Structure 1
């Protein structure tokens, strides 16, 4: 059953929401109020596939998984909540390439902090293996 993790507050407008997926990764979006989040969405993210920034109901995005507020404010300072919401809503409908370095977390981080750097373990791992991936898969033989 979907829902906020026990002991965590419900998201407020401007909060970064982390959706904990059972396959060991997380999905991120920004709460914009009225039970909705703005997030980079793709049914199955794949390298180099265009994804769309969408505004959807939080429970639909959760799809039965748990979620929590994960603002990452210990690492950087957010812009004011009303500006976060305005920026997030303005980005709805934009299309962009999904990569391990430009994903749902980095897009949510850009909306909340003005920079697109993620701090989750999955984004940090993507950064660690990014050079090897680029070198060995995208440019083999170099």
Structure 2
């Protein structure tokens, strides 16, 4: 899921937000995610959203979720569940307090609600860089080792 592919129009000016919509709002260095559950309410993993302190999954107002920042709708590719099921899945997690930035964050929650798979594109991008360096280092080591072994033979 690419958070750059969002719809931003209308969340400030009376446009109806679809039930079960995956919402995003920018934070310093990342985007925060939540599920719109109707009546101006959003379920999200509070995680590090408040003063970098760990928090549980909570249902809050749209204004609290946005915290004064722009809120947009994540363009979803074919959710596995109906909007009502997405809402039910989100609300079933309210109170959960097992936040982990790499394995169970607000984006993991939202993708699980809509697709049944717990994923975070932000974490994937973050971890891709060290993985790539490790792969390149191993490849270089293998090349150097093979060259050295060939010279000795």
Normalised TM-score (structure 2): 0.68
Query: Which structure ranks higher in relative contact order (CA pairs < 8 Å, sequence separation ≥ 6)?
Result: 1
Q: 1:5 — aligned with what? A: 8
Aligned partners of 1:27 and 1:105 also within 8 Å: yes
Select the structure of larger CA radius of gyration. Answer: 2
The structure with the largest helix share of the pair is 2
Q: CA deviation at 1:100?
A: 2.3
Shift of 1:78: 3.1
Q: CA RMSD in A?
A: 2.5
Consecutive unaligned residues in structure 2, runs of 5 or more? 1-6, 133-153
The separation in 1 between residues aligned to 2:87 and 2:126, in whole angstroms, is 27
After TM superposition, the structure 1 = structure 2 runs for residues 1-142 of structure 1, keeping only pairs within 5 Å, are 5-6=8-9, 10-21=16-27, 23-42=28-47, 43-45=50-52, 50-73=54-77, 76-119=78-121, 122-129=122-129
Instruction: Please state which structure has a larger fraction of its residues in strand.
Output: 1
